[in-house]
Amino acid sequence: MSKSTVANGFALIAAALFLVVAVGEVAAGGVEDVFAGKVIVLKKKPPSWFRSKQAFVKFLRSHSTRLVYENEDHTWSFETMAFFRRPLGDYEVDMVFYDVEAGSGKNQRRFVDSYAQNTMDRNTRSLSHKTHLTRPQFDAKIRYMITVQSRGRELAKGFFETRGVSQAAIDQQKRLEHEMKKMEKSMRELEEKARRQQEEEKKRNDEAAGDLF
């Protein structure tokens, strides 16, 4: 094989690699445009790399959900991806949650909780995030809206509903368990009182029998 053939081969490989990288960057940008202004709640964490825009879009659509189920400790954990219409321009955003049982309008939704979330790239147009919700701020069987905000501006939003045991049911169970413990304590106290009375009565009877002799 001639040197020119080898050189041409390396050139073709280099060009192909460049093309793959370039296509990957364009695909990522394209996904941000497809979902601009949305927060997507996911069933699983997305991979760090996709072969194409279509593969990324397919993953997000096939793994998106509106239902999140509680953990064994009655909390909720899930993955989200937010996409912005333009570069963020900041290293921090606010994750803000609203109860939208009465509606998602500004006069209908009820503020629930918020916290700050940092980003590595101030010019990013997307944000991958692990969300963990706890009680008593959040409850089961409630519709929520999650928003990404920057300096008061709402950049993206999404909706989800929590599934699991409601706080009212948990509180009722705790009350029942408390009442059961009180009843068990009362029963033990009554049994102990009855036992002491029997011992005292036996003692009196023994003393009375001794006096006869």
- Per residue in 105-163, pLDDT (tens digit) is 999 999 999 999 999 999 999 999 999 999 999 999 999 999 999 999 999 999 999 99
Token couple for 177: 């368990």
Query: Nearest to residue 79, comparing CAs of 126, 131, 116?
Result: 131
User: Of all residues in the chain, what percent carry a pLDDT higher than 70?
Assistant: 85
Query: What pTM was computed for the model?
Result: 0.71
Query: Nearest to residue 75, comparing CAs of 152, 3, 163?
Result: 163
pLDDT band at 171 (very low <50, low <70, confident <90, very high): confident
- Per residue in 9-44, pLDDT (tens digit) is 433 333 333 333 333 333 445 899 999 999 999 999
Task: Return the beta strands (E) in the chain as ranges.
Answer: 39-42, 67-69, 76-83, 92-99, 110-118, 126-133, 143-150, 153-163
